């Protein structure tokens, strides 16, 4: 489906046209019409499927047709991390280029001026607030915020927020909001605790599920059985001679991130660290260099498993096997984004075997084993479950010649004789 087949506003379509977006992803195709109808929605889709646009585009359209008070907050978007809030804010700027709405990001950091800007936006009634739960609560605890005009409450990465312990914070915020609002929840997984929260804050929500918790077939998943001390050398050999940039190496603990980064740097690899102990300015600088291709390898904890949006990551390496199968899905989902292909290699030591078995069981297939490079001792292979007979989803792409009238596009105020049903 193409965006101009949906009842989005002309201004939103103009922005999409300028950004060279014309084709909907499956989650956008199924979710946007339901949000435009005004229903509460739970949308469950794997990472990298275009979820942010799936709620920003109908939100901007609905705000244009609302008789809202410009002096009050109209929409709140909640995100679990500063990085994701920044990403949403950036996409809001692009998709909202032609609409007259203001937005303010509300998240923590060491910039003293940020608090004042956030407070001004919250008190003066920015149309859209993009916030992390803890930071928004900090503002609420210091001064009164008028939430009476909030018509839209959106939770992005809801499962991640609950994993981080934000359930009580979210409920506290919800109690301040009008009961007559539209609540939209996006989650990569649908555990029982998500359904529990949905019952508490939503009204008869529609459910949209797209390939729940399964990596896309465009990711070539591989693993190497090894001894733990061999892992750093294996990373070096996986990168040798390939000229790859924007590679992410996921490590389980902050202390080990620093150790692995130093070891790779000693091997001549351009590696940088990303973990929660870094100051916000340091994290921003590292991510900017990574996005711009100035950093070859980003060694990170799960802080970036869901919190970044970089379309051209060619390879993800799991230095440590994640303890949760769903975290594995999020990690490797950093590659093969925006219809690209990618590779994911997991290094499986003896200590990791049982966790990796659970991942393969979760995926219902055995992951391809790569041989140990020449000259390195080969450990006994880990035992893997046999692949199930479940058929793999086929990937279809549709093509059609699609053109639009450029002269018609030159005037953004012109009507395209498209009507939105009221």
Euclidean distance between CA atoms 127 and 178, whole angstroms: 16
**Start-to-end C-alpha separation, the chain:** 22
CATH homologous superfamily for the domain 3-213+397-409: P-loop containing nucleotide triphosphate hydrolases (3.40.50.300)
Q: What is the pLDDT along the chain (422 residues), one digit of tens a residue?
A: 899 999 999 999 999 999 888 889 888 999 999 999 999 999 987 656 788 999 999 999 999 988 777 788 999 999 998 888 988 999 999 999 999 899 999 998 656 678 989 999 999 889 999 999 999 999 999 999 999 999 999 999 898 898 888 999 999 999 999 999 999 999 877 778 888 899 999 999 999 887 545 788 899 999 999 999 999 999 999 999 898 999 999 999 888 999 999 999 999 999 999 987 887 788 888 988 998 989 999 999 987 876 567 878 999 999 999 988 878 988 998 998 877 899 999 999 999 999 999 899 888 899 999 999 998 998 876 544 444 444 334 333 333 333 334 433 333 344 333 333 33
* Entry pTM: 0.63
Residues with Cβ within 8 Å of 96's Cβ and at least 6 positions away in sequence, in order, are: 12, 15, 56, 60, 103
Q: How many CA atoms lie within 13 A of 116 on its CB side?
A: 3
Q: Domain ranges in the chain? A: 3-213+397-409, 219-369
Q: Does domain 219-369 have CATH number 3.30.499.10?
A: no
- Give yes or no on whether 3-213+397-409 and 219-369 have one common fold: yes
- Number of separate helices (H) and strands (E) present in the chain: 15, 14
Name the DSSP class of 413.
T
């Amino acid at each position: 489906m193409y965006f101009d087949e949906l009842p989005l506003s002309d201004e939103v379509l103009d922005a999409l046209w300028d950004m060279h977006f014309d084709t909907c992803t499956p989650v956008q195709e199924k979710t946007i019409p339901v949000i435009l109808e005004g229903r509460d929605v739970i949308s469950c889709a794997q990472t990298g499927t275009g979820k942010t646009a799936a709620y920003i585009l109908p939100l901007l359209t609905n705000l244009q047709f609302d008789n809202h008070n410009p002096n009050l907050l109209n929409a709140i978007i909640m995100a679990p991390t500063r990085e994701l809030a920044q990403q949403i804010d950036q996409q809001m700027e692009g998709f909202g280029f032609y609409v007259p709405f203001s937005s303010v990001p509300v998240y923590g950091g060491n910039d003293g001026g940020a608090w004042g800007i956030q407070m001004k936006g919250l008190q003066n009634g920015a149309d859209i607030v993009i916030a992390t739960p803890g930071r928004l609560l900090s503002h609420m605890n210091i001064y009164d915020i008028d939430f009476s005009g909030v018509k839209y409450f959106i939770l992005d990465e809801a499962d991640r927020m609950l994993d981080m312990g934000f359930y009580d914070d979210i409920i506290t915020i919800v109690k301040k909001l009008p009961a007559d609002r539209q609540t939209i929840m996006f989650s990569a997984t649908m555990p029982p605790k998500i359904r529990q929260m949905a019952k508490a804050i939503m009204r008869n929500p529609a459910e949209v599920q797209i390939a729940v918790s399964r990596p896309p077939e465009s990711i070539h998943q591989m693993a190497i059985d090894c001894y733990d001390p061999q892992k750093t050398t294996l990373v070096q050999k996986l990168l040798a001679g390939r000229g790859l940039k924007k590679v992410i190496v996921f490590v389980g603990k902050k202390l080990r991130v620093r150790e692995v980064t130093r070891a790779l740097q000693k091997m001549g690899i351009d590696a940088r660290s990303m973990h929660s102990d870094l100051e916000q300015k340091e994290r921003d600088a590292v991510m900017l260099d990574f996005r711009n291709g100035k950093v070859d390898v980003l060694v990170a904890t799960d802080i970036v498993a869901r919190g970044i949006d970089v379309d051209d990551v060619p390879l993800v390496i799991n230095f440590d096997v994640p303890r949760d199968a769903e975290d594995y899905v999020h990690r490797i989902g950093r590659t093969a984004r925006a219809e690209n292909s990618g590779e994911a290699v997991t290094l499986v030591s003896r200590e990791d075997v049982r966790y990796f078995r659970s991942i393969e069981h979760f995926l219902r297939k055995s992951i391809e084993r790569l041989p140990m490079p020449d000259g390195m001792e080969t450990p006994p292979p880990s035992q893997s479950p046999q692949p199930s007979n479940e058929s793999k989803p086929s990937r279809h792409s549709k093509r059609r010649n699609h053109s639009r009238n450029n002269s018609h596009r030159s005037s953004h105020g012109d009507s395209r004789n498209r009507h939105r049903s009221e």
